[in-house]
Amino acid sequence: MLGRDPTLPHYRPSVPASARLEDKFPIWYFFYGTLASPERLSRLLDVDLAQLPELKAATLLDGKIQTWAGKYRALMDSVGGKVEGWIYPVICEDQEDALRVYEGDSYEVVRARFVSDGKVIEGRTFRFAGFEDELTEDELAYPR
């Protein structure tokens, strides 16, 4: 879970990961960069733009955005931090795999909590998997 160290006893899941509801599709994914573009998602997931579910505004909890390599947004853990972005319902494993391939090895999928329409939702997002010293504090703007 973003912002939580699962090696600490009080953050260990009480239910095995395979039994969690968010492991069943659809799974809400939080996007904070280029994946928040409907046109990009349409091409990546091979879904006609007119058939693509609408991205919903959301606020990710316990994270912060930094910049990697001077041009990429990188999500990091930050207890109490908030990141504005969008959520999208991933409906099958093929879509999830396409997202993972797009993000590459520099990002890892993690469980995350976000708020949308006043409700806390558990889902997933992509967290930077590199070293913190590769990041700068300045945040890149991504208009949508």
Whether residue 116 is contained in a domain is answered as: yes
Residue 142 covered by a domain? no
Place of tokens 């090895």: 105
89 located within any domain? yes
Residue 87 forms part of a structural domain: yes
How much is the pLDDT for 22?
Answer: 47
Residue 36 pLDDT level (bands cut at 50, 70, 90): very high
Q: pLDDT (tens digit, 9 = 90+) per residue, 88-113?
A: 999 999 999 999 999 999 999 999 99
- Residue 15: C-alpha distances to residues 12, 18, 87 (Å): 9, 8, 24
Alpha-carbon distance of 144 to 142, in angstroms, equals 6
Residue 2 resides in a domain:
no
* Range 114-119 average pLDDT: 98
Over residues 18-37, the mean pLDDT reads 80
Mean pLDDT computed over 23-43: 93
Share of the chain above pLDDT 90, in %: 74
Q: What is the CATH number of the domain that holds 32?
A: 3.10.490.10
Domain contains 1: no
Range(s) of the domain holding residue 23: 9-134
Q: Taking the model in full, what pTM does it have? A: 0.81
In-domain check, residue 86? yes
| Total domains, the chain | 1
